[in-house]
């Protein structure tokens, strides 16, 4: 039989369960300053919309901006973690 090659886990958690590296990278990217300000802007919009009884405002633009930032950040590292 061939020798097995061990891969260093790209993203480790405290448990032995498999963890989706994309999920972990998204959380890390959300905390980076360039994305954190967009996350804060989305949260502010959500609070504003929830506080109103009748509103036509949506947070669509804020969602798009935040996910664009996070996905752009994740894309730099994600494929390094895949086998």
pLDDT tens digits, the chain, 83 residues: what are they? 444 334 445 455 456 788 888 999 999 999 999 999 999 999 999 999 999 988 899 999 999 999 999 999 999 888 887 76
**Which distant-in-sequence residues (6+ apart) come within 8 Å of 83 by Cβ?**
7
Check residue 14 and give its pLDDT. Answer: 56
Q: Is residue 36 part of a domain?
A: yes
Parent domain of 42? 21-80
Q: Is residue 38 part of a domain?
A: yes
Check residue 8 and give its pLDDT. Answer: 41
Check residue 19 and give its pLDDT. Answer: 85
Q: What does pTM read for this prediction?
A: 0.71
The conformational region for residue 7 under phi > 0 = left, psi -120 to 50 = alpha, else beta, is beta
Q: Is residue 10 part of a domain?
A: no
As for how many domains the chain has, the answer is 1
Check residue 15 and give its pLDDT. Answer: 61
Residue 46 belongs to domain with CATH number: 1.10.287.20
Are 24 and 74 within 8 A, CB to CB? no
**Which distant-in-sequence residues (6+ apart) come within 8 Å of 48 by Cβ?**
57
Q: Is residue 15 part of a domain?
A: no
């Amino acid at each position: 039989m061939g020798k097995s090659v061990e891969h260093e886990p790209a993203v480790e958690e405290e448990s032995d369960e498999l963890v989706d590296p994309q999920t972990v990278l998204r959380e890390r990217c959300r905390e980076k300053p360039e994305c954190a300000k967009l996350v804060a802007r989305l949260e502010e919009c959500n609070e504003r919309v929830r506080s109103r009884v009748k509103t036509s405002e949506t947070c669509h633009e804020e969602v798009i901006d935040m996910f664009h930032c996070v996905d752009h950040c994740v894309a730099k590292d994600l494929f390094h973690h895949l086998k």
